[in-house]
Amino acid sequence: MHLIEFVGNVGSGKSTQARFLAETLNTPTSPWRHISSGEILRQLADQTASTDDDEALKRGEMTPDEVVMPLMFAELQTTKDSDESLVLDGFPRTLLQYQEFKAAGWALVAVIELLVHPDESKRRQLGRGRPGDTEDNWQIRNQFYQTETQAMLASMVADGVTHIKVDGNLTPEETRGAVLRAWEESQR
């Protein structure tokens, strides 16, 4: 089993590119699957009675570690004994999540960071049309990425996880090509 994670600022294309890479790498003899923390949280919010956490998610706020971690660890556990490799999208996202991830016995082979200029990140988020896509929310998420996610990345690099940086300012198609080239190059 291999684990790859995609990280990037809001609107960087993490989900699109993570899904693409999982689909591209997936073969009958080497299965790969995409797991998105955002999709899991949105599905949960849609399926359950409304709670404060669900409402916060719908507004685009960051979901607390104590909510995200049990859900993601349960999802990861479903593949623990399989030969399926995973492309993770949005988890772990904080240093605490990464430390708990490692303590649970999980190890990343690579983290792919989609680098997007802050102006482009904001333009993309505000153009998505989701309820929480506001300028104030972008400011919160941008600050979170600059502090929390970058601290986690520094810890990953210190642990020897391969850090692959890809220009996410390109079109989705161009970014797909860049992601695939960067991944293949990292495997040589």
Tokens of 36: 């998105």
Mean pLDDT (the chain, rounded): 91
Residues 121-179 pLDDT 10s: 999 999 988 878 899 999 999 999 999 999 999 999 999 999 999 999 999 999 999 99
CA 100 to chain centre: 16
Q: Which residues contact 165 (CB under 8 A, 6 or more apart)?
A: 112, 113, 115, 182
The closest of 181, 175, 184 to 13, measured between CA atoms, is 175
The CA distance from 34 to 25, in Å, is 11
Residues 2-17 pLDDT 10s: 999 999 999 999 999 9
β-pairing, 85-89 vs 110-115, is unpaired
Helix (H, G, I), strand (E, B) or coil at 3: strand
Backbone phi, psi, residue 34, to 5°: -95, 130
Strand-pairing partners, residue 113, are: 7, 165
Residue 64 vs residue 132, higher pLDDT = 64
Residue 140 region, left (φ>0) first, then alpha (ψ -120 to 50), else beta?
A: alpha
Tokens of 188: 């040589």
Query: Where are the extended beta strands (E) located within the chain?
Result: 3-8, 32-36, 85-89, 110-115, 162-167
Q: What is the pTM of this model?
A: 0.91
